[in-house]
Homo-oligomer: A and B are copies of this chain.
Amino acid sequence: MDWSIQDIARLAGTTSRTLRHYDNIGLLAPSRVGSNGYRYYDQRALVRLQRILLLRDLGLGLPAIAEVLENETDAARALRGHHGWLRQEQQRLARQIASVETTIAAMEGGEMIMAEDMLDGFDHTQYREEVEQRWGTEAYAKSDAWWRGLSKADKQAWMERQRQLARDWIAAAEGGIAPDGDEAQALAQRHFDWLRGIPGTPGGGSNGPTKEYFVGLGEMYVADPRFAANYGGQAGAEFVRAAMAAYAARNL
């Protein structure tokens, strides 16, 4: 005994379109096809469909489901892998939610990030000594000239970017992820690109900072409490340093 396409669709709680799709991609073929082209499905097909839908509800992709159904053995293994991915997603969402919340708070509290005047209170000369000491007076002079030469809009854009980057670093550090994982490495990449925009950094310019400079910067973030504060304190700065070091080791 077999059912029409609508019948099993109803029986399994899905739609005929879905069944045709599954047929097209080879995930579930009808047990019989009439001379008129009509699809008919029997019990075996129904059982398979049920399994498919079960796994789909758990969030597995159709290719993964197909694999599970063919091998028969490693269903649990596939689910464990999937479970890991789900948890990652959840963490990503948690961090995003935190970001949104702090952003909302910032917008309601202060003048909000989108506002025009956000340069107040920023004095880049406060880092003068450190920069001169570690990378020479010339490096500082260059970057100082660069900064003074920027228009107001430029400065705003640059700071906005810096602040967002710092926020993301903090969120990442608090999220408890690995400094050498993909997430953190993506942040390190952003950090690298951001530095690239500052002339006067050793090796700076289009090619980006040198390995030594990049790693040394990470050290400084930890060593200097003024920098550490930007990244959520000591723990945050250490996370940033670890991520930067890992990035440098791989890419520079």
Q: Which residues does A use to contact B, with CB under 8 Å?
A: 10-13, 43-44, 46-47, 50-51, 54, 57-59, 72, 75-76, 79-80, 82-83, 86-87, 89-90, 93-94, 96-97, 99-101, 103-104, 107-108, 112-114, 151, 153-154, 156-157, 160-161, 164, 168, 190, 193-194, 196-197, 206
Copies in the complex: 2
Measured between beta carbons, the chain B residues less than 8 angstroms from A101 are: 83
Are B100 and A93 within 8 A (Cβ)? no
- Minimum CB–CB distance from A81 to chain B (whole Å) comes to 10
Measured between beta carbons, the chain B residues less than 8 angstroms from A154 are: 43, 46
Are B97 and A93 within 8 A (Cβ)? no
- Minimum CB–CB distance from A159 to chain B (whole Å) comes to 10
Measured between beta carbons, the chain B residues less than 8 angstroms from A75 are: 107, 112, 114
Are A43 and B157 within 8 A (Cβ)? yes
The verdict on A196 contacting B10 (CB below 8 Å), with A57-B99, A93-B93, A108-B76 known, is yes
Contact of A107 among B12, B76, B103 (CB under 8 A): B76
Measured between beta carbons, the chain B residues less than 8 angstroms from A151 are: 43
Are A97 and B87 within 8 A (Cβ)? yes
Are A79 and B96 within 8 A (Cβ)? no
Contact of A94 among B10, B51, B90, B196 (CB under 8 A): B90
Measured between beta carbons, the chain B residues less than 8 angstroms from A161 are: 12-13, 50
Kindly state the separation between the CA atoms of A101 and B83 in the bound complex, as whole angstroms.
8
Kindly state the separation between the CA atoms of A103 and B58 in the bound complex, as whole angstroms.
9
Measured between beta carbons, the chain B residues less than 8 angstroms from A86 are: 93, 96-97, 100
- Minimum CB–CB distance from A101 to chain B (whole Å) comes to 7
Measured between beta carbons, the chain B residues less than 8 angstroms from A96 are: 57-59, 86
- Minimum CB–CB distance from A119 to chain B (whole Å) comes to 13
A13, A50, A82, A90: residue with the most chain B Cβ atoms closer than 10 Å: A13
Are B104 and A79 within 8 A (Cβ)? yes
Q: Looking across the interface, which residue of chain B has its beta carbon closest to that of A153?
A: B43
19 contacts between A and B (CB under 8 A): A10-B196, A10-B206, A13-B190, A13-B193, A13-B194, A43-B153, A43-B154, A50-B161, A54-B113, A57-B99, A58-B96, A58-B99, A58-B103, A75-B107, A75-B112, A75-B114, A82-B100, A83-B101, A89-B93
